[in-house]
Amino acid sequence: MAIQISGTTVIDNSRNLTNIVALNGTTVSLLATTTGTQTLTNKTLTSPTLTSPTLTGTPTAPTATLGTNSTQIATTAFVQASKGWVSPDFTDTITGAATWDGNLTTVAHGLGTIPSFVWGFLRCRVANSGYLVGDRISAMTGLGNSQAIGMSYDATNVYLVSFNPVYFRNDGVVSFVVDDSFWDFELEVWA
């Protein structure tokens, strides 16, 4: 069997492609060569619908790198790798004695919009009250009615204020006062 377009063979009897031309909307003649030639005319080729294709089977696609934020297709591998992980749009670490504790600290986030979510952590810089270097405590919780770290924000800045926040110890004693000589404040902001 051979396929012709406007009298030109594009697939010969050996199933080789020849004389390929544009196919969309072109009239095709189908030639069968079993006992002779039969011509079937007015066969119109149409292109598949590309705006909303229906995929069957198990289609595959390249897996984007973690953190990709675009309109490309997300594979199941990308979704599984991303599950529970959303990178903040801005991060900052306020470190050192007499920086964030007991002061109003202003941090410019540079997003140009009011953040949708702001979070903070205390990260242990020097072993303290049963915590090891690198341990983290959520900065949004204190002990009972005690003080913690207050944050507010606008389209330009995040404002932190804290006066001797009290937290649970990690060594069996009930509580301790956080001191910025031992703890850094880590800020995470999402647009």
Per-residue DSSP letters for 73-89? PPPHHHHHHHTT----S
Residues 61-72 pLDDT 10s: 888 887 788 888
pLDDT of residue 34 exceeding 50: no
Which secondary-structure segment (H or E) carries 15? none
The answer on pLDDT for 19 being more than 70 is: no
Q: How does 33-50 read in b/e, with b if 16+ C-beta sit within 10 Å?
A: eeeeeeeeeeeeeeeeee
Band of pLDDT at residue 40, cut at 50, 70 and 90 = very low
Torsion of CA 107, 112, 115, 121, to 10 degrees: -30
The per-residue DSSP string of 137-162 comes to EETT--STTS--EEEEE-SSEEEEEE
Structure token digits, residue 118: 């702001």
What is residue 115's predicted lDDT score, i.e. its pLDDT?
A: 92
CA distance 85 to 148: 26
Q: What is the pLDDT of residues 108-144, one digit of tens each?
A: 999 999 998 888 888 899 998 888 999 988 876 544 4
**CA–CA separation, 174 vs 179, rounded Å?**
16
- Domains of the chain: residue spans and CATH: 2-44 (no CATH), 90-190 (2.60.40)
Whose structure tokens read 């997300």? 74
pLDDT digits (tens, 9 = 90+) for 165-183: 777 777 777 777 777 788 8
Q: How many angstroms separate the CA atoms of 143 and 104, rounded?
A: 21
Lowest-confidence pick of 10-19, 78-87, 93-102, 114-123:
10-19
- Looking at residue 98, its pLDDT comes to 61
pLDDT at 73 exceeding the cut of 80:
yes
pLDDT the model gives residue 14 = 63
Average pLDDT, the chain: 73
Q: Is the dihedral angle over the CA atoms 21, 26, 27, 28 positive or is it negative?
A: positive
Interval 77-88 mean pLDDT? 75
